[in-house]
């Protein structure tokens, strides 16, 4: 049993882009079905925060955007597909690649960073596709998702599909394998995301909407890049190599095929907002 790191390369981005195109195709076929969904055209999608309606100006601070300074419907109203990933440079590479693949942009065009007013995140747009970086780990992607979901809400978007693409550590897989997450589990292999809110511990479901048929698996989400992923090369390690391998074998037995740091909160927030989401 080995834990392999899926390599970061343009070839991997090409694979992920191809899967994204499949999702785009499948989603376009299902538009009539989702048209009748309660989160779709009438309600667009659920924004579970009644306080937003009372706000005269909503500032998306980490995007350097605001409802009083930007025309959200004009800028983002046509968005149907959002792709998010950790690295800003990777997301720029992705938008360039996907724009050419879908023939929705000019070859060689240098797409500007919509969030140029901040160094927290990067955002690029080509036609109905939005590409956004989210950094590393739960806190970073959670902040981004809060503001992204509000952006889609203020832009009056409907029938939006969000896909997270990124590298992960594989368990018993050939390096370079592509895994589509059907559900995310925590470090104890439970399909839930636990977040402390006002001193309480609500458990949020982590199932994802699978828009196409392909090899799917369970992803283990951890809050730590080293000990949380049973690595031996961190500054602090309190377990043996034998204990590491025992844990990874147990994870594999439960159906886990990769380990990463964002899928759990991504799935939970998509569920709460009624958004169709995938993790690749």
Extract the annotated binding site.
Answer: 120, 164-167, 229, 231
**Where is the binding site for phosphate, in residues?**
120, 164-167
- The count of other CB atoms within 10 Å of the CB of residue 256 is 20
**Where is the binding site for substrate, in residues?**
229, 231
Residue 46 sits at the vertex; the CA angle it makes with 126 and 86, to the nearest 5 degrees, is 45
């Amino acid at each position: 049993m080995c834990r392999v790191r899926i390599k970061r390369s343009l070839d991997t981005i090409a694979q992920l882009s191809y899967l994204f195109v499949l999702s785009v195709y499948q989603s376009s076929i299902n538009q009539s079905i989702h048209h009748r969904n309660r989160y779709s055209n009438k309600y667009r999608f659920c924004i579970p925060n009644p306080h937003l309606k009372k706000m005269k100006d909503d500032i998306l601070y980490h995007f350097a955007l605001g409802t009083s300074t930007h025309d959200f419907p004009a800028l983002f109203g046509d968005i149907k597909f959002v792709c998010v990933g950790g690295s800003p440079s990777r997301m720029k590479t992705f938008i360039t690649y996907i724009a050419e693949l879908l023939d929705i942009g000019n070859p060689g065009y240098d797409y500007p960073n919509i969030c140029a007013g901040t160094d927290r995140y990067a955002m690029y747009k080509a036609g109905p596709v939005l590409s956004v970086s989210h950094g590393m780990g739960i806190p970073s992607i959670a902040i981004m998702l809060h503001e992204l979901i509000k952006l889609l809400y203020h832009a009056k978007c409907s029938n939006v599909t969000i896909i997270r693409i990124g590298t992960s550590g594989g368990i018993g897989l050939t390096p370079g394998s592509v895994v589509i997450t059907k559900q995310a589990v925590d470090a104890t292999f439970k399909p839930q995301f636990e977040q402390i809110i006002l001193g309480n511990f609500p458990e949020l479901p982590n199932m994802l909407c699978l828009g196409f048929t392909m090899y799917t698996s369970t992803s283990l989400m951890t809050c730590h890049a080293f000990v949380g992923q049973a690595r031996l090369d961190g500054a602090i390690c309190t377990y043996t190599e034998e204990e590491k391998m025992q844990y990874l074998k147990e994870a594999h037995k439960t159906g886990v095929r990769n380990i990463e740091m964002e899928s759990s909160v991504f799935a939970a927030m998509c569920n709460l907002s009624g958004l169709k989401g995938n993790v690749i």
